[in-house]
Structure 1
Amino acid sequence: MSKKTALVVGAVIAIIVIFALNDGKQQASGASATGCKVTVTADVLNARETADGNAKVVGKYLRDAQFDTLPGVQNGFRKVADAKWVAAEFTQPVAGSAC
């Protein structure tokens, strides 16, 4: 292996290690990519396709599950992802979260 190749491989490995260490610190501190992280307060919380209690169920969360949502509430629902909404009344923002 040439010196140039070894330097490139070493740099790539260093970047991966730095990224992994920073990602672990963010997750450990409770940081949220959206700024809003919630905990489920119901025994089972249905995730629905739209912000409507009659919409198709596309997933489920169990009590005490934590996940990111977009800040704010629309029609009584929090948006988790595209085509994935949960009833806001069964979630509690995590302390320090910007919900």
Structure 2
Amino acid sequence: MKIKWSGKRTLIAAALLVGVLWLYAMGSEQRRGDDDGGADTTSSTTQCRVEATVDGLNVRSAPELDPNNIVGEMNLSDQADAEKTQENGFRKLAEGRWVSVEFIETVEGRDCG
């Protein structure tokens, strides 16, 4: 079967190739962040960073104890970037991601104010 490569078909093929390459690059970035619960590993040393002091620390969607708001888990010694925001005994890691301050420690040299 011979395909006649018109300008339109060439443009569509090029757009598909660019799209596939873009998706591959985005997936590579996501895989790099997966080792620490999705936190950004390229942050500066002034960024707040915390470490789990227990295995199976629940990451919650809101700063409250509710069995329906668990969105993830950190294992013993897992680290994640965090914000300085604390509420109801929870520290905010990112939008929709909170952990209990009772089971985390600030990583040495990081400012969690």
Q: TM-score range by the shorter chain?
A: 0.5 to 0.7
Q: Does 1:62 align with 2:84?
A: no
The 4+ residue runs of structure 1 with deviation greater than 4 A are: none
2:37 maps to none
CA RMSD of superposed structures (Å): 2.1
1:46 maps to 58
Pick the aligned partner of 1:84 from 87, 94, 97: 97
- The share of aligned pairs that are identical, in percent, is 35
In structure 2, C-alpha distance between the alignment counterparts of 1:59 and 1:77, rounded to whole Å:
15
Please give the per-residue CA displacement for 1:77-97, whole angstroms capped at 9, x wherever unaligned. 011111111101110001111
| Number of residue equivalences | 71
For structure 2, the 5+ residue unaligned runs are 1-40
For structure 1, the 5+ residue unaligned runs are 1-26
In structure 1, C-alpha distance between the alignment counterparts of 2:86 and 2:94, rounded to whole Å:
13
Q: Does 1:36 align with 2:48?
A: yes
1:95 maps to 108
Q: TM-score, normalised by structure 2?
A: 0.56
Q: TM-score, normalised by structure 1?
A: 0.64
